[in-house]
Amino acid sequence: RVTLYMDFSLIIWWAVLVAAFAQVGVGMLWYGPVFGKLWMKYVGITPESMKSMPLTLWQAMIGGLLTAFVMATVLSYASLFFAAMTAMQALLLAFWLWLGFVVTTQSGSFLWEGKPFGLLILNAGYSLVVLSVMALILVLWR
C-alpha cells in the first residue's frame, strides 16, 4: 500500500538548496559560455535584444532559483518515493523522469511551435544534465 502524502520531515532541505543552486550554476554554464551562442541563434535573439527583455537579469535569476527549488523539492520527494539510494538509482530516476516528462513536454516546441530541432536537443540535453546532477546531490546527501 502506497501513501501519496508529502512528509516534509523526510526532505533534507540543505540538499534541496544545494541542488537548486547547482541547477542555476549548470544553466549559467550551459546557456552561457558552453552553448550560449548556439542557443541565441536557435531562439533568434542577440545580446542587444536581450537588453529589452521584460525581466532584468537579477529578476530572471531569482525566478530561476525559485523554480529550481521547486524542482529540487519534488525530485527529492520522488527519490524518497522510489527509494533511490545509490548513484545509479539516482541517475535512473533522473533519466526516466526526463524521458517521460521533460522530453515529451519540450517536444511541443518542435512539433507545434516550429522551433528548430536543435533547440529541442539543446534544451533537453540541459534538462537531462540538470536532473542527473540534482538527483545525485539529493540521493547521495542521505
Residue 51 is predicted with a pLDDT of: 84
Ranges assigned E (strand) in the chain: none
Residue 50 is predicted with a pLDDT of: 84
Residue 42 is predicted with a pLDDT of: 96
Q: Output the pTM of the full model.
A: 0.91
Distance CA 73, CA 57 (A): 24
pLDDT confidence bin for 3, thresholds 50/70/90:
low
Residue 9 is predicted with a pLDDT of: 84
Question: What are the φ and ψ backbone dihedral angles of 76, each rounded to 5 degrees?
Answer: -60, -45
- Cα separation values, 131 from 2, 15, 45, 95, Å: 25, 14, 26, 8
User: Average pLDDT for residues 123-141, to the nearest whole number?
Assistant: 98
Residue for grid cell 517521460: 100
Number of Cβ atoms within 10 Å of the Cβ of 21: 15
Helix (H) or strand (E) holding 104: helix 104-111
